[in-house]
Structure 1
Amino acid sequence: MVKTTLKIDGMMCGMCESHVNDAIRNAFPVKKVTSSHSKGETVIISEEALSEDKIKEVMQPTGYELKDITSEPYEKKGLFSRK
């Protein structure tokens, strides 16, 4: 699993978050997408790494400015897991 974090400029409200989430969900087979307009970021959890070029292509028509993309391995923490 891969966690991809997008830094996005221009999200102002919950509807902006939904607009970004829907654009990502419609373009990629993702497990989870969450956006925060207050943090200015979208976090995507997926089985495979997502193409940065494709993310840029998907975000272009939304009208929001994509500032940065970072990816890292994602491991879901179990209920009783210890660090």
Structure 2
Amino acid sequence: MYKTTVKIDGMMCGMCEVHINDSIRKKIEVKKIVSSHKKGETVIISKNSLTREEIEAALADSGYKVTGFVCGTYEKKGLFGR
């Protein structure tokens, strides 16, 4: 599993978060996605490693701009993550 944190410019409200989540889900297979307009970021949990180019392509028609990108391995913590 991989955790990708994407800094996104242009999110102003909860509807922006939903729009970004939907745009990414349409183009990329994700396990979980959470966006925050207050933090200006989207966190994606996925089975496969993602690239900045994939995220930018998924958001190309949405009007939002990727300003930062970090992808790394993710291990679920807690009792059920073992």
Please indicate, yes or no, whether the TM-score normalized by the shorter chain is above 0.5: yes
Q: Distance in 1 between matches of 2:71 and 2:50?
A: 9
Q: Distance in 2 between matches of 1:77 and 1:15?
A: 30
For structure 2, the residue ranges without an aligned partner over 5 or more in a row are: none
> How high is the sequence identity, in percent, across the aligned residues?
56
Larger Rg: 1
Q: Distance in 1 between matches of 2:4 and 2:31?
A: 12
* Range that drifts further, 32-41 or 49-58: 49-58
- Counterpart residue type for residue 55 of structure 2: I
For structure 1, the residue ranges without an aligned partner over 5 or more in a row are: none
Establish whether residue 65 from structure 1 lines up as the match of residue 46 from structure 2.
no
Q: Distance in 1 between matches of 2:71 and 2:22?
A: 20
Q: Distance in 1 between matches of 2:28 and 2:57?
A: 12
C-alpha RMSD of matched pairs (Å): 1.4
- Counterpart residue type for residue 49 of structure 2: A
3-state SS of 1:60 partner: coil
- The equivalences for 1:1-83 within 5 A come to 1-79=1-79
- Counterpart residue type for residue 78 of structure 2: G
Q: What TM-score, normalized to structure 1?
A: 0.90
